[in-house]
Structure 1
Amino acid sequence: MEQFLHCFSLKCLLTIIFFIIFPNYYILTQSVSSIQPPACWDSERSALLHFKESFILHKSASDFPLAYPKVNSWKVGVDCCSWDGVECDDNIGHVIGLDLSSSFLHGSIDSNSTLFHLHHLTSLNLSDNDFDGSKLPSAIGNLSRLSLLDLSFSAFSGQIPIEILELSELETLDLSGFDNYLELQNPSLKSLVDKLVKLKYLDLGGGVNVSSTVPQSLANLSSLAHLSLRSCDMNGEFPIEIFQLPKLQFLSVSANPRLKGRLPEFPINSSIESLWLYGTGFDGELPKSIGNLKSLSDLEVAECNFSGQIPSSLASLTHLTYLSLSHNPFSRGTLIWLGNQTKLDTLYLGNTSLYGDIPSSLKNLTQLTVLSLNLNWFSGQIPSWIGNLTRLTVLDLHANELRGPIPQSLFNLVNLEVLDLHESQLSGTVNLEQILQIRGLTFLQLSGNDLSVLTTTTKNASVPKFKFLALGSCNLSEFPDFLDQDELEFLSLGNNKIDGRIPKWLWGSSAKTLEVLDLQGNLITGFDQPYVAPPWTNLRILNLVDNMLQGPLPIPPASIYYYFVENNSLTGELTPMICNLSFILVLDVSNNNLSGVLPPCLSNLSRSLSVLNLQNNSFRGLIPTICERGSQLRMIDFSQNQLDGQILSSMVDCRMLESLNLASNRLKDAFPSQLGKLPELKILILRQNEFHGAIGNAQIDVVFPKLRILDLSFNKFAGPLPSRYFQRWNAMKVVDFSRLKYLQLRGPIPQGKQFATFDNNSFVGNPGLCGEPLSKKCYSEASPPPPRLSSNSKKDGGDSLFEFGWKIVVLGYGVGVMVGLILGYTFNPWKHKWFLKYFWGSNRGGSRGQGTDDQCSK
């Protein structure tokens, strides 16, 4: 008891002493406990709940990996200031901030939305949701206190309302995205910049179609730190003063090919950290003062028109982590300036006219994850030290002059995902097992070298999951077992020595993912099972050219765009099943042994098909209707078959047709004057048929406005060539009438310096022609010679062959006449940039200015 009293007395004493020292403690604690943040206003809570109910939540609406539905925390009866994504004013309780970015919101929004009842909002972030193409509501102008508005990647569309100009407090405006769904026409970008003078952050990149010049007034935004007009269809001259903005840190005008400009002389105190000019018309030289950008971490100027030497002052940019100079017409140079940039993570120098050995200074760049030196003139061997850059995920050295073997050290790059060495002059033997030890490799391109690839890996071995695999010209003699994969998108084994049949296991490999299969230039004879349509549901390109395929024509899957099977030994008819290929753009079955009558259903393809090539088979019968209104056909080649009958009048429905070759058939018809109505026709070849009668039709005044190549040889035409045709065929700019054999022409030969150089042999097979250089005279000695036609003559003389002053290039097949020049197909729609790079090989030769895009691997 005494002990208790002693402790009690001690506690009381201490308590009394505490309150003597801190007399206001009780008052303070009572005051603090009574100060609580105010609850949100009922009207604003109700507005937010109604706003929530106007959407459905769908995971596909947001792409950010950490996205989650923030509005799930919004409950009735709970203080909205505690809800996820909601910020309230500490003093009054009004909702001042709303961040619903990446919240799976899906649905539309309009000016009646209760969102616009939140008049105290200063910050609104709805980015990375799906508002389903809604117009940006004009009621956005009601939120006049906004200093931040972020609607990026949120699928708004249409014209940005003029009410946005009322948001005069805005410091951050982000409308970036994909596909330019939004438009900024009225108001214009200039109006926006003139009104929103407090902007520090403006990003319209990829989300807004501006279609205007860059306003000079942007240079007046003295607080601007971030400006992105990427892919906004900007044009005109970029105001150089913008580079001088005192607080500018980030500038991107990439992917505006109509935008011109030059770089300024940069001051020493420039604050720019990121400069992105990719895919613009900027030109001139990179200034030496670019070395003054000491804070620069990202420099992207690929696919511009910069020239001159790459400045060595780039060596001063020691903070660089990303550098891309690719695809500019720089003068030939070296990389002596490179080596100090030890922080570099990404380096693109493709197609920049670099030459010599790959410089050893690169081995200092141990932080590199991407190294692209493609389409240059590097020679010598791939250096062994490249295997020490162990962080590399992308190594692209394709299309150089590199020789010798692939160094063993390269297989130390265990983090590689992309390895592209194609179209060089590498040689030696490569054991594929070593490459397959790089487990993360998804892109491997070794085609177009002099390599011998050994494939001994068993089918059950652990191998990378390839998406892109190209082993063309690698001396393969069989299909490698490891190709039995399920994620391949592109497979090229062209120009090898693979013989026999395509195995069953390959025919179904990567059934849901394969888009391109290239087996051209092998010795393949067929399929290891009775042919059925392959199971590739997404196959776009199938190339079986230059093999030894026998039997009926394989029918590709319905998804096919480009089907090449020329130069084989296929037999049988062109089955009507081919007409089910409703997406096909190019069908080439030339140089086979196919026969029979062409199926009438070919017209079903005319709305998709661009190229139809049936050359050099044994098709017979009439030419079916192949043109309908809306036809997309640009090239038709039925030459070297046994077709008969006439050219159907429906051919004029092929309004986009550029080339028509009907040579070496049995067609019996008059000259097809109706084809003169085709506005794009450049090549018309009718040689070696049984066309007859006069050339032209006096009743039809149509003159083939773009015709460049005309071959009428080895037919039964009679009468003169109407001079009105030749006076109007302005597209024939390179002409040379050196041989006009076997055309059955008659009438006087025009006189002039050109024709005076021809001899009699140029006109063999035209017994009706007369006049010099032939011995046959056209008139009596007393009669005047035929007049020379001037280039300005607009009269149709009727008797003259050709307008004086033309040169017609003869490219006849041994004999006959062909006007113009043929270089393979006239129309090459399938040679898209990526397809040209990886399917037909890189652009090699003197100029590499049109090289393919390094950015594919970004």
Structure 2
Amino acid sequence: MDSAFQLTLLHLLVLFSLVCGAKPLCLPDERTALLQFKQSFIIHESASTSPYAYPKTQSWKQSGGDCCSWNGVACDNNTGHVIGLNLISSYLYGSINSSTTLFRLAHLRSLNLADNSFIYSEIPSGIRNLSRLTLLDLSYSHLSGQVPWEILELSMLEVLDLSGNSLKLWKPGFRSLLHKLSNLKELYLADVKISSSVPSLLANFSSLTVLNLSNCELRGEFPTGIFELPSLAFLSLELNQELSGTLPDKVPENHPLLILSLASTSFSGQLPESIGNFSSMEHLDISNCRLSGKLPYSIGNLTQLKHLDLFSNNFSGPIPSSIGNLNQLEFLEFSENKFSGQIPSSLANLTLLDYLSLAANSFDQGNLSWIGTQTKLTYLDLSSTNLTAQIPSSLQNLTQITYLYLSSNKLNGRIPPRIGSLTKLIEIKFYENNLSGPIPYSIFKLRNLELLYLHANQLNGALNLQSFLELKKLTRLELSGNNLSLLTNVSNNVVPPKFKLLGLSSCNLTEFPSFLRGQDELEILKLADNKIHGQIPSWFWGVGEQTLQYLDLGLNSLTGFQNLPAVLPWTSLTDFNLEFNMLKGSLPRPPPSISSYRVANNHLSGEIPPIFCNLSSILVLDLSNNNMTGMLPPCLASLAESLEVLNLQSNHFTGTIPPTYPKNCWLAMMDISRNQLQGRIPRSLAHCNQLEELILGNNLINDSFPYWLGGLPKLKVLSLRSNRLHGVIGKPQTKSDFSKLQVIDLSNNRLTGKLPFEYFNVWNAMKIANTSSLSQYMFANTSSQNKNYAWYAYYNYTVTLANKGRDLRYEKVPDSIAVIDLSSNEFEGEIPESIGDLKLIRILNFSNNNLAGRVPFSLGEISNLESLDISRNNLQGKIPPQLSKLNFLATFNVSYNQLAGPIPQGAQFNTFNNDSFEGNSGLCGYPLSKKCGNPGVPFSPATPLAPDEDEGMWRVMKFGWTIVLTGYGAGLIVGISLGWIFDPWKYACFRNVIGKWALSKGWNGSRREGFSLTSVWKKVSQN
């Protein structure tokens, strides 16, 4: 081969390598489109939130050469067309529309604009131009509006992510999207408002690997078949509260699902045994659902799990020991369920745990012997798990722990001295246990400690407050409710931390701690139940002036205020408590922010100032048991738009009750008893549909019975005692009137007419027990919260009732109590038999009226009856022997009636003394000295015969000198002379003998009185 040919061949090879091996440059029109796209936005760091964000387009320049080499740009190696654009987290800020030059890049296959800010633009319809897209990611880019139809034209899409925007998928809907985009493998629609059910069509997407539909307002039943998709590795349906469903009973073995979240949905049913077939699963979150039943043993098959969250369901039974197989777990959350049995000791196997919570379950009494191996734990919550015994010393092994919660258990013994070795502790909650002994000094070594709650234990000993003040990061300290004696002398060299919460109630303080002077960030301060005396010092008004929200100084010996400001200076104050002191002077004027104002049981005087009319957020106003005077401001009624509790009892208020209560009245409890209020009961109280207790007793109210209160659906307690009520009670307006009423006290008024037996028929709460009640006592829930704190406050109802012959103050009203007190009125007529239907009554008082007739047998059916007073009436006949069945009857009074015959014997009747029966000359038997059936004691002619007995005597006189009784079968004939029958004692014996004989023959007389002579006569005359 000659040299010329060789040179030519070499040139061709070089040319071939230059032409065929060169990477094509970006096309000019696409380069221009990219530059114009860049120029339509500004770079702003607020547009992206990722810590890895950076401005990728900033390096794009007009003279920057080949655009295929730019950040975020990918080109086709053969054609040079731009086929990929990845501008995720690029600080892009600006609007986007169909004229955007981006849509001229028709060869794009992948477009990622996630984590930028398009300032709530809509997705442009020009998106249809990118018909070759297989990946579209617009997530978290501040887009809004309806997902356009044009997106459905991108039929080649395999990955679609629209999450984290304010988008709606309504027209088109979810079904249309799935029908058109049938090649999807990954679908992310988190936070997109779909507002429909999940189409069953989705169960046909056999290549689907990722499905994220969290917070989409989904509803209806979730198709179970989706769980069985063969390639599905990620499924999130969380935060769809109206989405129901159940987990599949059958799951193929070794299913590839890695992540499953159903949190905050309405999924129900049990966790199936087949859950163990998700053997690759690493993350399972089914918190805040409606799942129930036992946890299957197969849960232990999920050996790859790192995150397991069952928070707030209804799981019950024991936690299976197989939980110990999950030795890869880092996060375990089982709190707020109904787990019982023992906490499994196999938890000791979970040595990689970082987070563990079993709080608020119903475990059997157990201990913490399994604690100590989890040396990587940073968070441990075992609150409200019924733990007993002592805190083990193995707790010291948790050297990484930062949050340690063991509150609300039955732990005893001492706080372990080695707790000071857990130097990373930030929060300790040991409150509400039975811990005793001193607080260990090692706790003052915890220099990272920010929160320490030890209240409501039995800790004791003297302790210098300065030790706590040396913990510079400590901002929340609760020591209330122990037996501690805190010494408040603090060295001038100590600069205390800025507290936000300080609970020093029941700490034997005798003065306000001086270090409070500098506490200008304090939000909650509790100094109640101490021995602080004298006046509140003037410097105290500066404590937390801008921040204080809760102040409790109750149960001390405070007498007044130094330099009381015109309005309390705490501009954020919501809860103010000065109850049970010895304060004198006028009411401290609260700021407008107040929600609970309690100054009961002091010696405060003067009128309610007008500033109280401005308390638009108030929930509780308690001025009871003071020396307040004047008229009630009419604005108190308008405060009922927020006010739940109004207690003004035992003052000296005059005038009338504020008349105009709003239609949106929120009052749950109102007590203005023991004042000198006059006039009528305001009819607008009928607007207060939340009202449960209304106490207006011991005033000068002049009105008729307020039947119109019967429409209040929640009214349980109504006390109008000792007023000037008059007239007839009448009949209920509807069958549902007073249906929740359990206590009614109308005693000491001037009511007339018959007993309101029609109301007895509708007082259903006195007939059938309320099994749905969750509390032992009646209360108003006055809890409130803000962004930092939640106050769980419950205001117990109180009432004064006549019981056991005297007024008895109930500081807590049992939710099971039922009381009727109609005593000291002018009622007449009989006690109706229907009273026996009110089987839950515990106190019944009809005394001091004009009632007549018999004592009804049906009283013996009121099995809960504890106190029965029907004294000082005109009742006749016998005391029904059925009353001897009342096993709880502790107080019984039938004195000063016209009762006759033997007193029932046995059971409770053997405990009553003479006072219960005095003033009834016809009664005999124990405890009276008068024997029944003693011939030496003449029958008293003054004792009137019952109506039936009068009729029997008349028949004797009418038919002559003998009565002939003919017995059935036996042929018994008895002759009695007329003179003999008119001897009072012989007549009584005659009734006794004949009565027993008649009863032996089954002649029971009338149902109400038992045997009577007339009934026997009727039997005889018929035979």
TM-score (norm 1): 0.77
Deviation, 1:551, is 2.2
Percent of pairs identical after alignment?
39
8 A contact 1:376–1:399 mirrored in 2: yes
Partner of 1:784: none
- Mapped to 1, the partners of 2:340 and 2:442 lie a distance apart of 35
Partner of 1:225: 258
Are residues 511 and 775 of structure 1, via their aligned partners in 2, closer, same or farther at CA, if it must alter by over 3 Å? closer
Q: 2:694 aligns with which of 652, 660, 666?
A: 660
Partner of 1:766: 849
Report SS of the residue matched to 2:710. helix
Are residues 267 and 255 of structure 1, via their aligned partners in 2, closer, same or farther at CA, if it must alter by over 3 Å? closer
Q: 1:749 aligns with which of 822, 825, 831?
A: 831
Deviation, 1:664, is 0.8
Report SS of the residue matched to 2:760. helix
Deviation, 1:667, is 0.0
Are residues 40 and 359 of structure 1, via their aligned partners in 2, closer, same or farther at CA, if it must alter by over 3 Å? farther
Deviation, 1:42, is 6.5
8 A contact 1:602–1:626 mirrored in 2: no
1:598 has 2:626 as partner: no
1:481 has 2:481 as partner: no
Partner of 1:108: 120
- Mapped to 2, the partners of 1:521 and 1:772 lie a distance apart of 49
Deviation, 1:111, is 4.7
Partner of 2:390: 357
8 A contact 2:278–2:302 mirrored in 1: no
- Mapped to 2, the partners of 1:672 and 1:474 lie a distance apart of 49
Report SS of the residue matched to 2:678. strand
- Mapped to 1, the partners of 2:707 and 2:302 lie a distance apart of 72
Of 659-668 and 732-741, more deviation after overlay is shown by 732-741
Q: Which amino acid aligns with 1:293?
A: L
Partner of 1:211: 243
- Mapped to 2, the partners of 1:274 and 1:104 lie a distance apart of 30
Q: Which amino acid aligns with 1:568?
A: N
Of 270-279 and 213-222, more deviation after overlay is shown by 213-222
Report SS of the residue matched to 2:365. coil
1:277 has 2:332 as partner: no
- Mapped to 2, the partners of 1:610 and 1:670 lie a distance apart of 26
8 A contact 2:672–2:696 mirrored in 1: yes
8 A contact 2:214–2:237 mirrored in 1: no
Are residues 589 and 274 of structure 1, via their aligned partners in 2, closer, same or farther at CA, if it must alter by over 3 Å? same
8 A contact 2:564–2:588 mirrored in 1: no
Q: 2:414 aligns with which of 349, 369, 381?
A: 381
8 A contact 1:458–1:481 mirrored in 2: no
Partner of 2:82: 93
8 A contact 2:729–2:753 mirrored in 1: yes
Report SS of the residue matched to 1:422. coil
Report SS of the residue matched to 1:507. helix
Q: Which amino acid aligns with 1:423?
A: A
Partner of 1:342: 375
Partner of 1:684: 718
Partner of 1:797: none
- Mapped to 2, the partners of 1:369 and 1:473 lie a distance apart of 28
Partner of 1:850: none
Are residues 182 and 738 of structure 1, via their aligned partners in 2, closer, same or farther at CA, if it must alter by over 3 Å? closer
8 A contact 1:98–1:125 mirrored in 2: no
Deviation, 1:677, is 1.8
Partner of 1:555: 589
Q: Which amino acid aligns with 1:579?
A: C
Give runs of aligned pairs for residues 4-153 of structure 1, distance below 5 A: 34=23, 41=30, 45=34, 66=51, 73=58, 88=74, 91=77, 92-95=81-84, 97=86, 99-100=88-89, 105=117, 107-112=119-124, 120=133, 122=135, 124=137, 126-127=139-140, 141=152
Deviation, 1:289, is 1.0
Of 335-344 and 26-35, more deviation after overlay is shown by 26-35
Partner of 2:615: 581
TM-score (norm 2): 0.65
- Mapped to 1, the partners of 2:818 and 2:666 lie a distance apart of 33
- Mapped to 2, the partners of 1:148 and 1:775 lie a distance apart of 89
CA RMSD of aligned residues (A): 4.2
Report SS of the residue matched to 1:265. helix
Report SS of the residue matched to 1:602. helix
8 A contact 2:215–2:238 mirrored in 1: no
Are residues 267 and 571 of structure 1, via their aligned partners in 2, closer, same or farther at CA, if it must alter by over 3 Å? closer
8 A contact 2:276–2:301 mirrored in 1: no
Q: 2:673 aligns with which of 639, 643, 648?
A: 639
- Mapped to 2, the partners of 1:67 and 1:519 lie a distance apart of 52
Q: Could you list the per-position Cα deviations for residues 127-169 of structure 1 after superposition, in whole angstroms to 9, with x for gaps in the alignment?
A: 4x7668x566676656666666666665667978445544753
Report SS of the residue matched to 1:319. coil
Deviation, 1:267, is 4.7
- Mapped to 1, the partners of 2:398 and 2:532 lie a distance apart of 41
- Mapped to 2, the partners of 1:76 and 1:268 lie a distance apart of 57
8 A contact 2:293–2:317 mirrored in 1: no
Report SS of the residue matched to 1:427. strand
Are residues 754 and 396 of structure 1, via their aligned partners in 2, closer, same or farther at CA, if it must alter by over 3 Å? same
8 A contact 1:96–1:121 mirrored in 2: no
Report SS of the residue matched to 1:371. strand
Partner of 2:469: 436
Q: Could you list the per-position Cα deviations for residues 247-306 of structure 1 after superposition, in whole angstroms to 9, with x for gaps in the alignment?
A: 211011212356666334235563211100111112221111111112111111011111
- Mapped to 2, the partners of 1:145 and 1:549 lie a distance apart of 80
1:400 has 2:482 as partner: no
8 A contact 2:224–2:246 mirrored in 1: no
Task: Structure 2 unaligned segments of length 5 or more: list them.
Answer: 1-11, 92-114, 194-212, 768-815, 857-870, 879-915, 917-1023
Q: Which amino acid aligns with 2:580?
A: D
8 A contact 1:44–1:118 mirrored in 2: no
Q: Which amino acid aligns with 1:769?
A: A
Partner of 1:305: 338
- Mapped to 2, the partners of 1:82 and 1:643 lie a distance apart of 89
- Mapped to 1, the partners of 2:462 and 2:14 lie a distance apart of 86
Deviation, 1:662, is 0.5
Q: Which amino acid aligns with 2:241?
A: N
Are residues 400 and 218 of structure 1, via their aligned partners in 2, closer, same or farther at CA, if it must alter by over 3 Å? same
1:455 has 2:488 as partner: yes
Q: 2:357 aligns with which of 301, 324, 345?
A: 324
Partner of 1:839: none
- Mapped to 2, the partners of 1:312 and 1:619 lie a distance apart of 64
- Mapped to 2, the partners of 1:718 and 1:538 lie a distance apart of 53
Partner of 2:737: 703
8 A contact 1:210–1:234 mirrored in 2: no
- Mapped to 2, the partners of 1:612 and 1:82 lie a distance apart of 75
Q: Which amino acid aligns with 2:697?
A: A
8 A contact 1:562–1:585 mirrored in 2: yes
- Mapped to 2, the partners of 1:579 and 1:67 lie a distance apart of 55
Q: Could you list the per-position Cα deviations for residues 365-391 of structure 1 after superposition, in whole angstroms to 9, with x for gaps in the alignment?
A: 212112211122221111111111111
Q: Could you list the per-position Cα deviations for residues 473-510 of structure 1 after superposition, in whole angstroms to 9, with x for gaps in the alignment?
A: 11222222333333322222222222333344432433
Give runs of aligned pairs for residues 241-256 of structure 1, distance below 5 A: 241-256=274-289
Are residues 277 and 459 of structure 1, via their aligned partners in 2, closer, same or farther at CA, if it must alter by over 3 Å? farther
- Structure (1 or 2) with the larger CA radius of gyration: 2
Of 572-581 and 254-263, more deviation after overlay is shown by 254-263
1:538 has 2:621 as partner: no
Q: 1:629 aligns with which of 663, 672, 690?
A: 663
Partner of 1:314: 347
Report SS of the residue matched to 1:255. coil
Deviation, 1:245, is 1.2
Q: Which amino acid aligns with 1:169?
A: L
- Mapped to 2, the partners of 1:649 and 1:245 lie a distance apart of 65
8 A contact 1:298–1:322 mirrored in 2: yes
- Mapped to 1, the partners of 2:453 and 2:70 lie a distance apart of 51
Partner of 2:919: none
Are residues 740 and 597 of structure 1, via their aligned partners in 2, closer, same or farther at CA, if it must alter by over 3 Å? closer
Task: Structure 1 unaligned segments of length 5 or more: list them.
Answer: 1-22, 782-814, 816-858
Deviation, 1:423, is 0.7
Q: Which amino acid aligns with 1:635?
A: M
- Mapped to 2, the partners of 1:235 and 1:273 lie a distance apart of 24
